């Protein structure tokens, strides 16, 4: 039977050999976060954000706002007019839509009309941030989706106020129309900024010359 360290010291004194015990490492290698894992996580979030943004765009502009034309005598909703609108259009739209129809438009603005610019803006911020390394360029590209989200949310509020007002105010109509046009322009610019970010993110890997590869081999 093997003796304990205390028994060995008692028997052999100073000449006793006591085995050294080492505590196991507390580092769990399974929890290590490598750059590859972090990149994979970002890609999964990006894919989910892009899919959600596409769904919300379809649900907002191609489904719900289009369905509301059944309650407005076939007239399009202000959000769908890429080229803007004037006071005459707003007067006709207000006359065609009753209180319930206007309430449905307001509800859409508070739900899908709010979620779409927020989720789209967050997704594009992540897309640009993970692909653009230069800080100045990254902030310049970030400004586009941020402005888009702010303009769309502001435009929703102005349109709801315009539709619920007692009378048509020309200044309010002009502001709502300008915000609507700006929102569509910023949406297109955001798509371009995202495409540019993806191009810049892939450019370093594709610009390696064949001669450099032969030199390394």
- Please report the pLDDT score of residue 43 as a whole number: 86
User: What is the distance between the alpha carbons of residues 116 and 62, in angstroms, rounded to a whole number?
Assistant: 13
pLDDT of residue 213: 47
User: pLDDT averaged over the chain?
Assistant: 85
Residue 209, burial from CB neighbour count under 10 angstroms (0-12, 13-18, 19+): exposed
pTM: 0.77
Task: Supply the pLDDT for residue 60.
Answer: 97
Report phi then psi at 4, rounded to 5.
-80, 160
Q: What is the pLDDT of residues 20-68, one digit of tens each?
A: 555 455 555 555 556 666 667 778 999 999 999 999 999 999 999 999 9
Provide the pLDDT for residue 11: 62
Over residues 175-200, the pLDDT tens digits come to 999 999 999 999 999 999 999 999 98
- How do residues 72-93 score in pLDDT, each as one tens digit? 999 999 999 999 999 999 999 9
The fraction of the chain above a pLDDT of 90, given in percent, is 72
The helix or strand, by DSSP H or E, that contains position 31, with its residue range, turns out to be none
């Amino acid at each position: 039977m093997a003796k304990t360290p205390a028994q060995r010291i008692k028997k052999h004194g100073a000449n006793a050999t006591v085995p050294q015990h080492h505590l196991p490492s507390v580092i769990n290698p399974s929890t290590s976060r490598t750059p590859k894992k972090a990149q994979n996580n970002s890609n999964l979030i990006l894919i989910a954000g892009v899919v959600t943004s596409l769904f919300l765009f379809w649900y907002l502009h191609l489904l719900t706002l289009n369905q509301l034309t059944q309650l407005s005598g076939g007239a399009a909703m202000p959000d769908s007019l890429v080229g803007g609108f004037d006071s005459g259009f707003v007067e006709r739209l207000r006359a065609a839509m009753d209180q319930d129809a206007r309430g449905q438009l307001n509800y859409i603005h508070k739900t899908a009309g709010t979620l779409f610019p927020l989720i789209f803006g967050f997704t594009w911020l992540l897309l640009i941030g993970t692909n653009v390394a230069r800080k100045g360029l990254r902030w310049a590209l970030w400004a586009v989706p941020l402005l888009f989200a702010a303009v769309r949310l502001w435009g929703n509020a102005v349109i709801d106020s315009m539709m619920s007002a007692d009378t048509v105010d020309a200044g309010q109509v002009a502001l709502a129309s300008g915000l609507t046009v700006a929102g569509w322009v910023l949406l297109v610019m955001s798509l371009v900024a995202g495409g540019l970010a993806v191009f810049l993110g892939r450019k370093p890997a594709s610009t390696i010359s064949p001669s450099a590869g032969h030199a390394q081999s």
